[in-house]
Amino acid sequence: MNLARGTALNFIGLAAPLPLALAVIPVLLAALGEGRFGLLTLVWAVTSYFGLFDLGLGRALTLQLSVVLQQGRDEAVGPLSATALAAMGGLGLLGGASLWLVAPAAVGLIKDLPDPAEAVGALRMMSLALPFIVLTAGLRGMLEACRAFDLVNYVRIPLGLWTIAGPWLQVSFRAADLTEITAILVAGRVVGCLAHALLVRRRLPQLRGAMRWRRRLLGPLARSGGWLTVSNLVGPLMGYGDRFILGAVLSASAVAFYATPQELTSKLWILPGALAATLFPTLAARIAAGDAGTPGLCRKALDWLILALLPPTLGLALFARELLAVWLSEPFAAQSALALQAFSAGMFVGGLAQLPFTVLQSAGLASRTAWLHVLELPVFIVCLAWAGGRFGVAGAALVWFGRSAVDAALMFVLAARGVRVGARPLFDGRTVGVVLLASAAFLGLLLPQAGLRALWFALSCGVVGVLGLRRWMGENAARHAAPRPMAPEK
Residues sharing a CB contact under 8 Å with residue 413, sequence separation 6 or more, in sequence order: none
Write the burial class of residue 111 (CB in 10 Å: 0-12 exposed, 13-18 middle, 19+ buried): middle
Among candidate residues 156, 184, 239, the one with its CA nearest the CA of residue 40: 184
Do 168 and 279 share a domain, yes or no? no
Write the burial class of residue 476 (CB in 10 Å: 0-12 exposed, 13-18 middle, 19+ buried): exposed
Do 185 and 247 share a domain, yes or no? no
DSSP 486: P
Does a structural domain hold residue 27? yes
Pairing mode, strands 424-425 and 420-421: antiparallel
pTM above 0.75? no
Do 416 and 382 share a domain, yes or no? yes
User: What's residue 12's pLDDT?
Assistant: 67
- The domain of 119 spans 1-213
Do 363 and 415 share a domain, yes or no? yes
Does a structural domain hold residue 480? no
Do 290 and 203 share a domain, yes or no? no
In angstroms, rounded to a whole number, what is the distance separating the alpha carbons of residues 49 and 232? 9
In angstroms, rounded to a whole number, what is the distance separating the alpha carbons of residues 329 and 89? 44
Does a structural domain hold residue 479? no
Residues sharing a CB contact under 8 Å with residue 451, sequence separation 6 or more, in sequence order: none
Do 282 and 330 share a domain, yes or no? yes
- One DSSP character per residue, 341-387 reads HHHHHHHHHHHHHHHHHHHHHHTT-HHHHHHHHHHHHHHHHHHHHHH
CB-CB contact of 285 with 18 (8 Å): no
Does a structural domain hold residue 190? yes
User: What's residue 52's pLDDT?
Assistant: 58
Q: How far is CA 255 from CA 33, 293, 423, 439, in A?
A: 12, 46, 48, 28
In angstroms, rounded to a whole number, what is the distance separating the alpha carbons of residues 237 and 239? 5
Structural domain count, the chain: 2
In angstroms, rounded to a whole number, what is the distance separating the alpha carbons of residues 18 and 250? 29
Does a structural domain hold residue 482? no
Does a structural domain hold residue 220? no
DSSP 269: G
Do 233 and 163 share a domain, yes or no? no
Do 250 and 295 share a domain, yes or no? yes
Beta bridge partners of 75: none
In angstroms, rounded to a whole number, what is the distance separating the alpha carbons of residues 299 and 283? 13
CB-CB contact of 48 with 232 (8 Å): no
Report which residue type is found at 185: L
Handedness of CA 187, 263, 351, 468 (dihedral sign): positive
Beta bridge partners of 421: 424
pLDDT mean values, one per 10 residues, the chain (490 residues): 60 70 80 77 68 64 76 82 86 86 80 76 86 88 80 82 85 82 89 92 84 75 62 63 75 77 80 77 75 82 86 91 87 88 92 89 79 86 87 88 91 86 76 83 88 90 74 54 47
Write the burial class of residue 289 (CB in 10 Å: 0-12 exposed, 13-18 middle, 19+ buried): exposed
Return the SS3 of 267.
helix
Does a structural domain hold residue 221? no
H-helix or E-strand spanning residue 112? none
In angstroms, rounded to a whole number, what is the distance separating the alpha carbons of residues 111 and 119? 12
Residues sharing a CB contact under 8 Å with residue 184, sequence separation 6 or more, in sequence order: 162, 166, 167, 169, 170
Do 136 and 189 share a domain, yes or no? yes
- One DSSP character per residue, 297-328 reads HHHHHHHHHHHHHHHHHHHHHHTHHHHHHHHT
Do 197 and 294 share a domain, yes or no? no
Does a structural domain hold residue 487? no
